[in-house]
Chain A
Amino acid sequence: MIEFRNVEKRYEDQERNAALSDFNLTIEDGEFVFIIGDSGAGKSTLLKLLMGEERASKGAVVVDGVNVARIRRSKLPYYRRHFGVIYQDFRLLKDYTVYENVAFAQRVIAAHPQSMQRRIPKMLEQVGLTDKAESLPSQLSGGEQQRAALARALVNGPLYLLADEPTGNLDPTSSQEVMRLLEEINRSGTTVIVVTHDAAMVDLMQKRVVTLKEGSVVSDQAQGGYENA
């Protein structure tokens, strides 16, 4: 479970407006949540606080009962292994094949080679990229790149999947494909948090929608759409 308890986040160069203020949000295990809001609403800060990249100025971000701000720097990597992250720009390693990109995530956590041999093909199969395993990212379409990034994010079996504008660079068909995969992943028990501007996807999925404005939650709908949020 993820809890933001009265969180305020003020960056050093922000004297007046805080990036997040009096921010409260609870996400239960296994939920699928869209976080929407205009630029500067605090979406990126929310992700940074969750990943321990930034620390709350006030209040607490609590994940599975652990206050993220209290995690020692040396333990932060192990905490981050609970999360898988995908981005709008995919962030695949250009010189690595699809297989190597996914393997990279396993190597980072010093996974056993046998585990890698077992998990990576399975992951590629799940995202439908088995036949593209030896392709470089430049040889893939946008949708395929995002699916490769998804495989990399999931290969270590995270509890939470954070998707930062996952369909921002994709055509509608690819976007739907990625969303279908996210839903499938969510059904298998992974909590999915999607930060997006993609109104069509939010409307289509009919999941919980949390709307941020100027660093606070202004709306939280259990099954909402983009327009009525």
Chain B
Amino acid sequence: MRSFLYMISQGLKGIRKHLGASLFSLAIMVFTIFLFDAATAIMMNLTNFVKEAEENVGITVFFKEGMSEEEIKALGNRIGEDRRVKRMKFTSAEEAWEKYKKVYFSGNEHLAEGFANNNPLANSASYEIFLDESAPQREFVTELEQMTGIRKVNASNSVADTLNDAARLIRGITIAVLAVLVIVAVVLIGNSIAMTISMRSEEIHIMRYIGATNGFIRGPLLVEGVIIGLLGALIPLAITWFAYQPLVEHIRERYVNLANIFAFLPRARVFALIIPVSLALSLGIGLAGGVFSIKKHLKV
């Protein structure tokens, strides 16, 4: 415990002694983690939009000509047994025709009377299927299309696809930029620690001759990296935490139509993921910078 407190005080001393380099490393860390936080929040919301779109836009299945309602319902039961299916709604041929009449013959009902005994939608009995949130729609549609007795599957993939594409694009760009920034942050923190090693070379030499363990010599240097790393996470976390809700409100007000269709994730849910991951990421960068610098500059 005493050694641990000593390491922390020495780590802070190292940061203070070359404040400029430490602040520069910190600024890069803040930018890196901020980018990560913002991109993750956007991706989480987009993924949620996709799920909502898939959940609210059902898949409609039509059956082959000549199949009786019993056969169709039997097939429907088979589909309903699939764990991915959340709920299903059956529309018989008669119901389909009634609905059609309401929409297209409204005010001219007499025109539809010619079809009284000959339902033109006789083969249009259908199931509307809503999937569980986590199930990918496209895969399920392909499986349905391959089932015997199914004539046609209507699925509105376009919204989901667009959102998915957007999420993928953001993810790709973010990963590429993050990869570069993480390397830059590791190098800068390493550089800051290398300065400490250089400034404390005399002290380190004395420590070594007195019999300091490697851990005791390396500890304050790693602590320095960890402090820069953690501060680099806490600052952007605070910024995104306080900015998230007002930003969501602003989007809701500005884009009312969008807000009616999609619900934004609550802040707690987004940060339940962002907080641990960005802390782990920043800790990893800080430690990596420390280890990188120690291996390169410190012979113990």
Contact = CB atoms under 8 A, between A and B. Distances in A.
Nearest to A94: B202
B3 A105 contact: no
A69 B208 CA distance: 17
A91 interface: yes
Q: Which of A77, A109, A110 has the most CB of B within 10 A?
A: A77
B245 interface: no
A108 B205 contact: no
Contacts of A85: 209
B2 interface: yes
A71 B205 CA distance: 19
Interface residues of B, number: 17
Interface residues of A, number: 21
Given A91-B202, A93-B202, A93-B203, A109 B2 contact: no
A104 B206 CA distance: 10
Interface string B197-223: 000001101111111111010000000
Contacts, number: 50
B202 A80 contact: no
Contact of B207 (A78, A83, A108, A156): A108
Nearest to A91: B206
Contacts of A93: 202-203, 206
Contacts of A107: 2-3, 6
A110 B212 CA distance: 9
Given A74-B214, A93-B202, A80 B2 contact: no
A108 B212 contact: yes
Interface of B: 2-3, 6, 202-203, 205-214, 216, 300
Of all A-B residue pairs in the complex, the 5 with the closest CB atoms, nearest first, are A81-B211, A80-B211, A108-B212, A77-B213, A77-B211
29 contacts: A51-B209, A73-B214, A73-B300, A74-B213, A74-B214, A77-B211, A77-B212, A77-B214, A78-B211, A78-B213, A80-B210, A81-B210, A81-B211, A83-B209, A85-B209, A91-B202, A91-B205, A93-B202, A105-B210, A107-B3, A108-B210, A108-B216, A109-B212, A110-B2, A110-B3, A110-B216, A113-B2, A156-B210, A156-B211
